Structure 1
Amino acid sequence: MDFNCQNFTNEELIYVYRNLLMPRMIEEKMLLLLRQGKISKWFSGIGQEAISVGCTLALQPDEWIMPLHRNLGVFTSRQMPLHKLFMQWQGNKEGYSKGRERSFHFGSKPHHICGMISHLGPQLAIADGVALAYKLKKENKVSLAFSGDGGTSEGDFHEALNVAAVWDLPVIFVIENNGYGLSTPVNEQYRCESLVDKAKGYGIEGVKIDGNNILTVYDTIRGVRDYCIENQKPYLVECMTFRMRGHEEASGTKYVPKELFEEWGAKDPIRNYEQFLLDTNVITGTQVADIRNEFKNYIDEELKMAAEAAPIKPDEAEELNDVFMRRPEKTKARIIDHDTIQVAGAGQQTETRFVDAIKSALQQGLEQHPELILMGQDIAEYGGAFKITEGFVEIFGKERIRNTPLCESAIVGSALGLSLEGYKSVMEMQFADFASVGFNQIVNNLAKIHYRWGQNADVVIRMPTGGGVGAGPFHSQSNEAWFTHVAGLKVVYPSTPHDAKGLLIAAINDPNPVLFFEHKALYRSISGMVPEEYYEVEIGKARVVKQGEDISVITYGSGVHWASEYQEQHPGVSLHILDLRSLAPLDHTAIKAAVARTGKVLLLHEDTLTGGIGGEISAWISEHCFELLDAPVMRCASLDTPIPFNLELEKNFMAKNKIHEYIQRLLNY
């Protein structure tokens, strides 16, 4: 192995050696602890240390790295306290995730390390978002994300590289090609000669290097970093290496030919670099022994500290409180609800369409928050599919009003990356139906990141939703209930222009991920008085639309207008109409009050019956309000079919057609 050391002093070469040796010696201890049953699982990076260490040392300490589960050298090279790492691996509360995450599924903002999720690919798009933040700040920095050879087959790899290329982002994508994705060899994973060849397809540069040569990795990444900053472009680096142990220890290595271990054992990154230092008199055998003894003692002492960690005592309140980031007390927006207007006034008000209320919220949000970025397909010059952002480019510029490629997953991930650097973002999912291709990023990255390691996701995803416009199964479905089950997401669904503006402003000001559902059929069919000022409507607070005595209709979105229309057409029935406005969190106090008001409850929503939010609310009422009921809780929902295209079929599908039937059943009970 040829080590080119002409650009290094002896002190620097020894410093590199110390950083390279540390993760190997920690791993050897971890494998012992694993056999002793003191840790539950371990993904070994033995044989691949040069990549993690070289990449980390080549970056500045305040540049974000997105490591995976074989990148211990990233954590040690960032000088993270070893006893706390041991606590993390042992599942102690004093670790980096309070015992909520395993091995390397955690991050640390002070160390600029973003914790991985098991799906691997989503890390790459987060690096895009961080690099975008650096670009917007005019900072000379890069982000770096790791992928294995197996991860390059995932759609997230394609999306992240494409976005980085299209947006000219200073991102370094590092592929650790160790020959296997668990047990699947690379000849069963791809057909290109080398993975670096993929770079050409995205119009970016790439290089293939020896990933076991620490100086080659360090020097390459340092040069690539300079290139990315100078040219404001991404770069792909394929590092050839080998995994000397199993995918994880339990999986073993029987599927690997013996001769591969012999071949790559001779290329061991630590043994070869150590011998090079000895041969060139950079270091002596005595110094090597001293460093190893120093590290052994350090590891043992740090492990003793970790062993003193108290056993976890589960605290239910703490667990629930850590799902969301607590919002700062100060806000520039006044809380104005419908009742507030009547009692205290709200300044100048204007008759406003639903669609224009959303536009107003976005514009005022952009004015209030210079760090707010809007992203979505066709939202810039074209103004979006529904023309909500029309004219914004002329006011705020293309840096803040960003057209995106058709890659929902990467844009959600980029939004999270922006959040790591203190930015807010609103992503327009062109249709709520398309959220399915960004589902993993939403439910596993955005939703869980604060609970996992305390990092907030300051992201709003706008979700044009619902039927009534004859758009068929892939542009009109109601999928809000998909997300109400996921802890860590807030789900908001306004029915009036007033609430659309106030709730969207509240969502932008909230440091947590919010899915903001906008019913397309309401965009230009509903108008109402809306304050011109910058105001909020509280998330998680329902609104009584109409006081009534006979039946309580609990609903949201289009259901509010269906119920109100039914009441107008049937003055002999007294409906108590409650607009939930937020589906997560639910306003249980308001729900209970609505049940108590009439004793008869109709849960009405446009979503299909099975699995709709109505089932959850019905269960809660039965459990907490049973004594208040005078009749069974009933659900009026749409057919359990995909929503059809033909308008007559769509009308037949809709829950609106069944309201009279259910009202009569409850009246006659």
Structure 2
Amino acid sequence: MTFDRKDKSDSALLNFYKRLLYPRMVEEKMLILLRQGRIGKWFSGIGQEAIAVGSTMAMEAQEYILPMHRNLGVFTTRDIPLRKLMAQWQGKITGFTKGRDRSFHFGTQDYKIIGMISHLGPQMALADGIALADLIEHKEKATLVFTGEGATSEGDFHEALNVAAVWNLPVIFLIENNGYGLSTPINEQFKCKNLADKAIGYGIEGIQVDGNNILEVYDTLNSIATSIRKYPRPVLIECLTFRMRGHEEASGTKYIPQELFDKWAAKDPLKNFEQYLLEQNILTERLVQEISASFKTDIDQEIEIAFRDQEPTVDIQTELDDMFSPYLFEATEPTGSPREIRYLDAITDGLRTGMTKHENLVLMGQDIAEYGGAFKITDGFVKEFGKARVRNTPICESAIVGAGLGLSINGYKAVVEMQFADFVTCGFNQIVNNLAKTHYRWGEKADVVVRMPTGAGTGAGPFHSQSNEAWFTKTPGLKVVYPAFPYDAKGLLLSAIDDPNPVMYFEHKYLYRSLSGNVPSGYYNIEIGKASILKHGTQLTIITYGLGVHWALSYLDENPEISATLVDLRSLQPWDKETVATAVKTTGRALILHEDTLTCGFGAELAAWISEHCFKYLDAPVMRCASADTAIPMSKTLEDSFLAKSSLPDTVKRLLAY
């Protein structure tokens, strides 16, 4: 291995050595502890330290790095105390995740490190969002994100690189090609000769380096980072290296030919660099021993301190509270003059008001810029707020939701539009595993609203008509709102934007142009989690939301002899248990109406809760009126029969007759 010191001083080279040696010694200590049974799991990066250390040293201290689970050198080079890292690995209350997540699955704003989730690829989109915030702020910064050769097969890899390329984001995508994804060799993972060549398809630079040569890694990363700070653009780097241990220790290495171990043992990044420094008379054998002894003492002390740290204590209320970033809602009543506008225009007005109030708010979605969106909700926004904040996206829901989280991490707010709620499946992982869990895991907000044009009634068929709110109401960490009126649509949207937590905002497409109402100009808000009582009655309570509200109103208008209390939930997570309970106790009968299919729809949760908490007040079973358990047909005749509205009269009659 050949090292080119360029203009580096002896002290600088010695610092490289110490930075390289320390994580190696920590790793060796971890393997001892594993054999002793004092720790339960370890993902070893032995043999790959030069990549983590060299690249981290090339980045500025306030630039974000998004590492993987084999990048201990990133954390040690950023000088995170080992006792803190050890507490994290052992699930102590003093760890970054308070015992809620493992190993390197955490982030820290103090050290500008954003950890991965187990799905590997999604963190690359977060890097896009972080870099986008810097770009909008005109900060000359770079962002570094790691991935492995296995994750380059994931759609998240493609989406993140494509977005970064289209938007000229200053992101360094670093692939650690260590030859194996767990046990699968690279010849079974991809066909191209070099992963760096994938850059060609995105119109960006691709560079391959010797990942075991710390100076080559540092010099390459330093040069690229310096360049993209001034001339923002993404660069793909492939670092060739080898994993000298198993994927994790329990998996072993029997599937790897011995000749590969022999070949790469000769390329050990630490031993080769140490030998180079000895030959250059920068190191001596005595100095090596002194440095090692000092590190050993420090490592042993730090680890034992962490072992003595407190274990998490069980407090379910704390666990529940920590699902969300703290936020104190302050009600603001409307002061502007009301005007009659459509449901669609109320959403437009809410977005415009939010964009004016929050200068750090970015809108992202397909066709939302000059075209104004598929439903024209953002028509004119580019002229008003500029393309930096109103961004057309490629068709890549996962990357855009992830970029929204990256924006939030770097001080921005994001509203992401799903062109249709049905398309959210393509971004599902980012929502339920990244947005929903981020605050619980390491205390970081996820300030993202996902707009969900939803529902049937327009003959749009199985892929443009689903009511999929139940996918998210059962996911802890997400707030879910579903306004039925223009007034609520604006007020709830503004509350969702203000709230630093992830909010799924469902807006019914059928109501866009068919429903109008008085909406005040200017800013006002509606508390998420508060229902609205639209009618008071004595015979039964109808609990509903979205288009179901209008079905119920129409039915009750057509049947004035029925005395019903009508509850519009408005919010599904959290939902207003107090209002529902009071209404049910007053009437003694409860009917839950929603557009979603019957089985496991949100109504099932409502019915279970009412049965459990209001049973002694009930004069009849809780009944549900929901759509058929089929996909949504396109034919108007079939769609009308599918929807819950068709069975509402019979359900009411059965409930009243019980």
For the criterion TM > 0.5, the same-fold answer is yes
Question: What is the Cα deviation at residue 93 of structure 1?
Answer: 0.7
Residue matched to 1:602: 591
1:491 aligns with 2:480: yes
Deviations 1:85-109 (A, max 9, x none): 1111111011110000001101111
Residue matched to 2:340: 351
SS at match of 1:325: coil
Residue matched to 1:584: 573
Residue matched to 1:324: 324
SS at match of 2:649: helix
1:513 aligns with 2:513: no
SS at match of 1:373: strand
1:418 aligns with 2:416: no
Distance 1:399 1:153 in 2: 30
**What TM-score, normalized by structure 1, do the two folds share?**
0.98
Stretch of structure 1 that moved more, 446-455 or 227-236: 227-236
Residue matched to 1:244: 244
SS at match of 2:157: helix
Distance 1:269 1:115 in 2: 24
Q: Is the 8 A contact 2:91 2:311 kept in 1?
A: no
Distance 2:546 2:485 in 1: 8
Distance 1:31 1:492 in 2: 49
SS at match of 1:201: helix
SS at match of 1:172: strand
1:637 aligns with 2:626: yes
Distance 2:367 2:177 in 1: 36
1:451 aligns with 2:440: yes
1:287 aligns with 2:287: yes
1:217-616 aligned within 5 A: 217-328=217-328, 334-335=332-333, 346-616=335-605
Residue matched to 1:53: 53
1:197 aligns with 2:197: yes
Whichever residue aligns with residue 300 of structure 2, its letter is D
Distance 1:107 1:38 in 2: 25
Question: What is the Cα deviation at residue 244 of structure 1?
Answer: 0.1
1:41 aligns with 2:45: no
Q: Is the 8 A contact 1:377 1:428 kept in 2?
A: yes
Whichever residue aligns with residue 540 of structure 1, its letter is G
Whichever residue aligns with residue 418 of structure 2, its letter is M
Whichever residue aligns with residue 332 of structure 2, its letter is R
Whichever residue aligns with residue 614 of structure 2, its letter is C
Stretch of structure 1 that moved more, 595-604 or 32-41: 32-41
Question: What is the Cα deviation at residue 328 of structure 1?
Answer: 5.0
Whichever residue aligns with residue 170 of structure 1, its letter is P
Whichever residue aligns with residue 66 of structure 1, its letter is L
Question: What is the Cα deviation at residue 465 of structure 1?
Answer: 0.2
Whichever residue aligns with residue 503 of structure 1, its letter is L
Whichever residue aligns with residue 608 of structure 1, its letter is T
1:620 aligns with 2:609: yes
SS at match of 1:334: coil
Deviations 1:348-384 (A, max 9, x none): 1111110000000000101011100000000000000
Distance 1:517 1:6 in 2: 58
SS at match of 1:641: coil
Question: What is the Cα deviation at residue 284 of structure 1?
Answer: 1.3
Residue matched to 2:18: 18
Distance 2:248 2:519 in 1: 58
Distance 1:523 1:34 in 2: 60
1:114-133 aligned within 5 A: 114-133=114-133
Question: What is the Cα deviation at residue 312 of structure 1?
Answer: 2.3
Q: Is the 8 A contact 1:603 1:614 kept in 2?
A: yes
SS at match of 1:303: helix
SS at match of 1:536: coil
Whichever residue aligns with residue 38 of structure 2, its letter is K
Matched positions, count: 658
Whichever residue aligns with residue 221 of structure 1, its letter is L
Stretch of structure 1 that moved more, 221-230 or 287-296: 221-230
Question: What is the Cα deviation at residue 293 of structure 1?
Answer: 0.4
Deviations 1:491-543 (A, max 9, x none): 10000000000000000000000000000000111111111120001001111
Whichever residue aligns with residue 28 of structure 2, its letter is E
Question: What is the Cα deviation at residue 285 of structure 1?
Answer: 1.3
Distance 2:127 2:333 in 1: 36
Question: What is the Cα deviation at residue 335 of structure 1?
Answer: 4.3
Question: What is the Cα deviation at residue 347 of structure 1?
Answer: 4.2
CA RMSD of aligned residues (A): 0.9
Distance 2:611 2:41 in 1: 42
Cα 1:215–1:425 shift into 2, 3 Å: same
Question: What is the Cα deviation at residue 611 of structure 1?
Answer: 1.1
Q: Is the 8 A contact 2:480 2:506 kept in 1?
A: yes
Deviations 1:390-435 (A, max 9, x none): 0001111100100000000000000000001110010101000000
Distance 1:534 1:312 in 2: 43
Cα 1:591–1:254 shift into 2, 3 Å: same
Stretch of structure 1 that moved more, 152-161 or 616-625: 616-625
Where does structure 1 lack aligned partners over 5 or more consecutive residues? 337-345
Distance 1:621 1:483 in 2: 20
Residue matched to 1:655: 644
Q: Is the 8 A contact 2:83 2:306 kept in 1?
A: yes
State the 4+ residue runs in structure 1 displaced beyond 2 angstroms. Answer: none
Residue matched to 1:342: none
1:144-183 aligned within 5 A: 144-183=144-183
Distance 1:103 1:257 in 2: 28
Whichever residue aligns with residue 501 of structure 1, its letter is K
Distance 2:549 2:520 in 1: 21
Distance 2:33 2:93 in 1: 19
Whichever residue aligns with residue 216 of structure 2, its letter is T
Question: What is the Cα deviation at residue 40 of structure 1?
Answer: 1.8
Distance 1:527 1:40 in 2: 60
Distance 2:615 2:74 in 1: 55
Deviations 1:549-597 (A, max 9, x none): 1110000000000000000000010111000111111111111012112
Residue matched to 2:81: 81
SS at match of 1:222: helix
Q: Is the 8 A contact 1:429 1:435 kept in 2?
A: yes
Whichever residue aligns with residue 548 of structure 1, its letter is G
Whichever residue aligns with residue 131 of structure 1, its letter is A
Distance 1:571 1:57 in 2: 74
Q: Is the 8 A contact 1:38 1:90 kept in 2?
A: no
Distance 2:2 2:160 in 1: 34
Whichever residue aligns with residue 311 of structure 1, its letter is E
Question: What is the Cα deviation at residue 228 of structure 1?
Answer: 1.5
SS at match of 1:111: coil
Question: What is the Cα deviation at residue 227 of structure 1?
Answer: 2.2
